[in-house]
Amino acid sequence: MIQSERMTVVRQAKIAHNIFELVLQGELVQDMTPGQFVHVKVSDTLEPLLRRPISIADVNKQDSQFTMIYRAEGRGTEVLSLAATGQKVDVLGPLGHGFPVEAVPTGGTALLVGGGIGVPPLHELSKQLNARGVRTIHVLGFQSENVTFYEEEFSKLGDTYYVTVDGTKGTKGFVTTLLDELKPEFDAFYCCGPLPMLKAMENAYPEKEGYLSFEERMGCGIGACFACVCQTTDQVEKDYVKVCSDGPVFPKGVVQL
């Protein structure tokens, strides 16, 4: 159920260049699933009053806490990065449809591929896959080493590989460069990142079951404004889908890439 709540900042830390980890506490954590997102009002007083869509990196239902990892790259998220422990943040969520955790059977293997700020939702996904007895392989792509994060967290959950465009960490190149070398065996893949990455994954594994999470520009976040509309392929009946309310996760082959 979508709710709006003034959640409490438990802690906030800078974990890489312009990348922040923010832990919030509140009741709407109880309804969160991996791959969903929240729409955060960055400030109550200052402009801009717009909300920002941010993915869910970790869910701790026992303590009613969740973690978001975001890039501070405009005035809105820069203001959010100043939120201190005890402060309230207005959050709308959880929004959209997340990753189908049950797509890989117990004992199977899932390939998780992420790019940049598309990496955080894969962390909660991997946790939940591991809890079901699924082996996870993580392939994480970044521009450069100074924007990488969560190496320890991902390594605890499964085999973890880094690839950077400038070669400062892991393999130099793109996620497909590394996948060509690794040739991993897996039952299904999950991918969250920029459009070229989603397209490359869809093309690389035509025979495999796969799920893609889109990071479209968003307005309302709840299906009302059409800012996030994407054209579909002729494999589906609908002419278009809304990333915010029909997605952000779609099976591969649904959205035209």
Among positions 182, 195, 220, 236, the unique one binding ligand FES when judged by CB under 6 A: 220
Q: Which residue's CB is nearer to ligand FES, number 134 or number 254?
A: 254
| Residue 111 is a binding residue for ligand FES (CB under 6 A) | no
Among positions 77, 227, 236, 253, the unique one binding ligand FES when judged by CB under 6 A: 227
Please indicate if the annotation marks 2 as binding a ligand.
Answer: no
| Residue 218 is a binding residue for ligand FES (CB under 6 A) | yes
- Using the contact rule CB under 6 A, the part of the chain among 92-100, 203-211, 222-230, 248-256 near ligand FES is 222-230
How many chain residues touch ligand FES (CB under 6 A)? Answer: 12
- 3 φ, ψ (degrees, to nearest 5): -135, 160
Q: Which residue's CB is nearer to ligand FES, number 161 or number 214?
A: 214
Intra-chain end-to-end CA distance of the chain, in Å: 30
| Cα–Cα distance for residue pair 173/161, rounded to 1 Å | 13
| Cα–Cα distance for residue pair 221/227, rounded to 1 Å | 9
| Cα–Cα distance for residue pair 65/22, rounded to 1 Å | 10
Please indicate if the annotation marks 192 as binding a ligand.
Answer: no
| Residue 7 is a binding residue for ligand FES (CB under 6 A) | no
- 100 φ, ψ (degrees, to nearest 5): -75, 100
Beta bridge partners of 139: 113, 161
Q: Which residue's CB is nearer to ligand FES, number 204 or number 222?
A: 222
User: Between vectors from CA 160 to CA 156 and to CA 164, what angle results, nearest 5°?
Assistant: 135
**Which of 114, 10, 131, 115 is CA-nearest to residue 66?**
10
Please indicate if the annotation marks 71 as binding a ligand.
Answer: yes
- Using the contact rule CB under 6 A, the part of the chain among 84-92, 111-119, 206-214, 218-226 near ligand FES is 218-226
Residues that bind ligand FES (CB under 6 A): 218-221, 223-228, 242, 244
